[in-house]
Structure 1
Amino acid sequence: MSEALRPPSTEDITAQPWQDVARQAEHPSYTHISTKFSQKAAELEQAGDSTGASVYRFLNHIVFIHLDPDNKDQPLRPAWMSPTGRSAAIEDFDEQARDTIEKLIQSTEVPLLRARFADMVWLLRKNYKMAELAATEYLAAFKQLDDSDNWAYEFACLKRGIALARMLGAKNKLFLDYVSFIESRLSSLETTCTDSLGTRLLDLLFEYRSGEPVVSARIAETIGDRLEPTGSSFLARDYYDIAAKFHRANGDMANVQRLGIKKGESLVRQAEACIGKEGQGYFTATHHLAIAIECFRQSGADDAKIQSLHKQLIEWQAKTSGEMKSFSHEVDTSNIVAAARDSVKGKALPQAIFAMAIGHPVINADELRKRVMGYMNDFPLTHLFSAAFMAGDGRVMAHKPSALTTDEETREKAIEAEMFHQAANIDWPLRAQAYINTCREQITEEHHPTLQELQFLVLHNPFIPEGHEPIFLRGILAGFRGEFDIVPHFLVPQIEESIRHILRSAGHVTSKLDAKLIQEQRLLGTLLGLPETIEILGKDHVFELRGILCEKFGYDLRNRLAHGFVSYSDCWGADVLNLWWLVIRLLSIPAARKAKEDAAAKEKKEGES
């Protein structure tokens, strides 16, 4: 255990007014209390009171630990992690520190602190009374914030508390108290809700299969109907999705389809409202319209309506290229960083994510080729000899032939290898650190996205095969949280199936039949080499996918990940960060629009024949 986590004596803690310091926080949240403890420690240290400062540092380490109720394995985890270190984790506290924490439970009347102390003791010592106490105090802490209309600061308390209460038994009074509180709040929110609190509460009822599905669906739809005309259409659609989820669980597919059509109509209205708006325009409109069309298709809407909207989508897509803007700067990356931050700052979460997705272009393969050939002409000796690409352990992984050859095929291989090499060593690292990570940090700082809030990216998205949405969602969320050790394991395998999905949607065959009549699916490298894939995704997006995932002179991330060559620190590299951003970009653009166009054309042709 580090010296900073060594527990002060009980006498030293008692001598400090730490509860009063906690109550001085702007809001009774872990973040605000942590700030107060940190400031007090610095103040006492400066005054020469190292003993008093150690008390607040110790308490701050406890409070600064991040509550992550969605993480079943580590609900209390380090607040930050990097390849070189992390903040405090509960396992850093030795037995003496754990004894001190257990004593602190009875020393405070602040619900948030009692909940944290009890939860840590439960996780470290598996004392069920501590789990019960933590659940009780989490509910009290959330009610305190909810009463002051600051529920968003610590909704995680309610999620963690109900999870602990449910663990103690579905018929346990504590769990029933949670359900009763949620149902009571939803009853009042049905006519007053203007934010996402209702969605969060309804999700908890659904997760724990509590309450009446019909009542929950009615409340969700009622709130959505009230929010839709007020300009909160994103939020209204979240409520429609939840209502549909309850109806689906209840076997009422007629209402599921009705709500799908209602959601589609909302998307069409929002798409039309985007035209002519600063920062939105046809690009954002095509995203909403593509999702609307998918909603209508999945909900069995009138085919004539779908075809009409599809025609409108094609017309709008033709107008998007004139709206796309990119950053163009010299070497001074501070300008890129500032521009990246400003491009997403102050926007609503969906608009900020769309801005991040399109605010920087993918590599223009034609321009990169010209650049590479220019270098070859200006510095021919550097390309006179063939080159070998070696792994970290000295193994030769690939050969790049000499570019100074009369054999066109060999020369083309050399040019392409150098293109991937330059992208991987110049373009992608710069974009990752100066642009992508800057946008990511700004969005996270302002919004702290949750799974629920990111669903707009994946629901009814034509790039994602049905049933794969939660996997994409978890990979994207992990990126916003900085958990890049998780990101590639969720996203890399899914991209391959997504490519197959959009090809199948366009009527193309993605499998092959061998001499033994065994039908195997084509692998990612082969899929990305198909002209149909290039036609659907565009040459530049395919170049990025190949370079990041497949090419030896690029990052070869798919192969390295599949064979265990990616170390823990590697997960924070430019390859993973660029892949994460590229996935969000493909989901934002509707990347599979061409597949849908081809499928529609094929259906029309078959209908005429």
Structure 2
Amino acid sequence: MNEPRFPIDLVVTADDFDVGEVSTLLASSAECGYINYHAALSQAARTAIESGLTSKGKCLWLLADICSMALKPDSIHNPFQPYAVIEGKRSAIPEDFSAQDIEFFESALGKILDVRLNARLADILWLLKKPRQISHALSAIDCYSQFSLDHDSLLKDGKQAFERAIRLSLMIGKAASQYIDSIRAKLLDTFNSSSYDEGYRTLWLAEILLLISIEEQKSKDIAGKLEALSVQAKVEGDFYKSRQFLEGALDWHKRLQDENQTHRLTVAIAETWVSEAEIRAAESNMVAGSFYESAIKEYRKIPTKNRSALGVDNRIHDLHQKMNTANQLALGEMEMIEMPGIDISDSVEASRKHVSKRSFPEVLIALANIHSCAKVDDIRDEAEEGLKHSVFEQLCTSTHLTRDGRVARRSLGLYPGNHEDAEYSQMIWQHMLQRYNQRIELVTQACILPALQATNLEHRITEKQIFELCGLSHVVPHGRELLWAKGIYAGFENDFIASTHLLIPQIEHFVRMRLKHAKAKTSTLNSEGIETENGLSTLLDIPEAEQILGKDLLFEFKALLTDSTGPNLRNEVAHGLIEADSARSLYAIYSWWLALRLLINSIPWKRPVAQDKEPEAHQEVEKK
């Protein structure tokens, strides 16, 4: 990436490379898609330049670059993104190409009889050539619509290609009407002939068709076929696949604005979770409890006004009881695991090994559980023990300042041994915060960052993958999946400034929703009858918070997010006080990891997340 490859001012045309050679090169990589085109072309480019054929090498490099870009068809103005970004370097994007490069692309368009390459050439010309030429967009549409619709093609580049063709056609309008009609007919014919045995192909085709106007009866037929396939999957015991098809059918009924069918399918999706929970209870009550919670989450998507006719509230009540019973039984399934501790240097290496050589999403489960989180009782015991042996700290007053010099809190000294008053409790709290902050710094450097680096080294985590996981999580409310996904994904991009600003408000919303669902009061009504939602600091102080969140998580939220003498990330972000260094600090990185942990550990995996314990080397980190 960004490697010097040829003279910047070197001008080339399509006459500078062998069309037949490139055609043969691409033909051998056609089954594998654009990424293999890039690999083949870039290798040929290096060989050409090493042989002194600089002009030929540049031609091949330019073709390789346009094949390396990742297509994001839902973006109108920026559909091509770098395939990789690592340590400040990235692969090619459209803005890298000069005016001479664009002229080369225009001279090369159509010379090679390969629809993938010509689609990319035409699309790049449509984006970059000034003034724009409709012919370039039409060429791109024509080439994209020639992609295969078989299962493997859709899985690689085909789905994005057809989506891009449709969006370009809709953007252009009348001039592309013949293409949109042809694409619609091709997709419908392929959809109608697809079968259950072809995996998710039918669902993918239905998702593409959602982008095009389809007459009402055909839309109902599409929804009906997807629902029928979901029934077949459920009969075979594949509840995940059944839900995927049901959600596809649900999207079509939403498009038809058919509320009755939408709510009916929502109930059906919820009941797949119930059925799976009942089956999985024999293996793990922990998993069963998670599935019941997923069912409840699904039922809550039905508006309150429509619940009575469907018996939703009664069903939610029943499922709550089933979930509570399963969770109580799950306690008996857990086993205590004690591990010997080792020093920090070993912990860094252990962190890398802990996530290494794992497949996705297992690697995320390992990363999310790389550390066991704070135990408030242990921290309090350590603080009391430390204060007991420090008479100096008990006698002296202390003043806590913010980064910009404001006094956040003052602590008065007290007579040693006086442990009954509020001042002693406040002093203990301050010592707990100090120990917690030290632990965060240590854990983030010794455990989280090494594990994150190892994960990024072995895996290409995508926003789409995270988005799909958010849809499965119990902590992510419906409608918040994209915000959580972008925040979590930003961390994998090492963009902790973005993750901090995205995730901390979502954590606050998570707390508020948990309290609301437990019937706790989360708002304030003033004398004029105006009701205002309380902020996170107030929410964490209500009596029900400890029971609902658990005392350990409650402590972490207070210490990390709202206490004025700690990182205070929530208030710093909410009031616009946070600076860049704080937004990407060790505390900010830890808050990202904590959000990842909440997400991952709330997903009903096929095996309990508790089995993925932190590596042995981390136990000693807690004591450092």
Determine if the TM-score, normalized by the shorter chain, exceeds 0.5: yes
Equivalent residues in 2 for 1:148-547, closer than 5 Å: 149-154=152-157, 155-169=159-173, 172-195=177-200, 197-211=201-215, 212-275=218-281, 281-296=284-299, 298=302, 300-301=310-311, 306-321=316-331, 322-323=333-334, 330=342, 331=344, 332=346, 333-342=348-357, 345-346=358-359, 349=361, 357-358=368-369, 360-371=371-382, 386=398, 391=403, 395=405, 398=408, 406=416, 407-436=423-452, 438-439=454-455, 444=460, 449-450=464-465, 453-454=468-469, 456-457=471-472, 461=474, 463-476=475-488, 486-547=498-559
1:34/1:60 contact within 8 Å kept: yes
Q: 1:49-75, CA deviations, whole angstroms, 9 ceiling, x for partnerless residues?
A: 555544433333322222122344421
Q: 1:306-359, CA deviations, whole angstroms, 9 ceiling, x for partnerless residues?
A: 4443222112212445548889663222222221235xx336x5x665565456
Alignment correspondent of 2:67:
63
Total equivalences in the alignment: 574
Q: 1:440-478, CA deviations, whole angstroms, 9 ceiling, x for partnerless residues?
A: 765645x874577446325xx4x4555444444554555
1:454/1:477 contact within 8 Å kept: no
TM-score of the pair, normalised by structure 1: 0.81
Unaligned runs of 5+ in 2: 417-422, 604-624
Q: 1:169-205, CA deviations, whole angstroms, 9 ceiling, x for partnerless residues?
A: 277111222222221221122444322x333332233
2:203/2:248 contact within 8 Å kept: yes
| CA–CA distance in structure 2, aligned partners of residues 234 and 194 of structure 1 | 12
1:287/1:590 contact within 8 Å kept: yes
Q: 1:96-151, CA deviations, whole angstroms, 9 ceiling, x for partnerless residues?
A: 122112222132222111111211221123332212211221222x31xx447332
| CA–CA distance in structure 2, aligned partners of residues 19 and 28 of structure 1 | 15
* SS of equivalent residue, structure 1 residue 237: helix
Shift of 1:512: 1.6
Query: Partner amino acid for 1:419?
Result: R
| CA–CA distance in structure 1, aligned partners of residues 578 and 76 of structure 2 | 25
Q: Does 67-76 or 52-61 show the bigger shift?
A: 52-61
Alignment correspondent of 1:586:
598
1:122/1:128 contact within 8 Å kept: yes
Query: Partner amino acid for 1:233?
Result: F
Report the CA distance shift for 1:58/1:252 in structure 2 as closer, same or farther (over 3 A).
Answer: closer
Report the CA distance shift for 1:74/1:48 in structure 2 as closer, same or farther (over 3 A).
Answer: same
Alignment correspondent of 1:95:
99
Q: Does 289-298 or 121-130 show the bigger shift?
A: 289-298
Alignment correspondent of 1:127:
133
1:337/1:435 contact within 8 Å kept: yes
Report the CA distance shift for 1:100/1:403 in structure 2 as closer, same or farther (over 3 A).
Answer: farther
1:550 to 553, 556, 562: 562
* SS of equivalent residue, structure 1 residue 27: helix
2:399/2:407 contact within 8 Å kept: no
Report the CA distance shift for 1:372/1:409 in structure 2 as closer, same or farther (over 3 A).
Answer: closer
Q: Does 522-531 or 84-93 show the bigger shift?
A: 84-93
Give RMSD over aligned pairs.
3.8
Identity of aligned residues (%): 22
Alignment correspondent of 2:420:
none
2:463/2:486 contact within 8 Å kept: no
Unaligned runs of 5+ in 1: 592-609
2:463/2:489 contact within 8 Å kept: no
Report the CA distance shift for 1:560/1:129 in structure 2 as closer, same or farther (over 3 A).
Answer: farther
* SS of equivalent residue, structure 2 residue 36: helix
Query: Partner amino acid for 2:541?
Result: G
Alignment correspondent of 2:622:
none
Report the CA distance shift for 1:530/1:148 in structure 2 as closer, same or farther (over 3 A).
Answer: closer
Query: Partner amino acid for 1:182?
Result: L
1:549/1:558 contact within 8 Å kept: yes
Report the CA distance shift for 1:309/1:69 in structure 2 as closer, same or farther (over 3 A).
Answer: same
2:525/2:532 contact within 8 Å kept: yes
2:243/2:269 contact within 8 Å kept: yes
1:137 to 138, 143, 148: 143
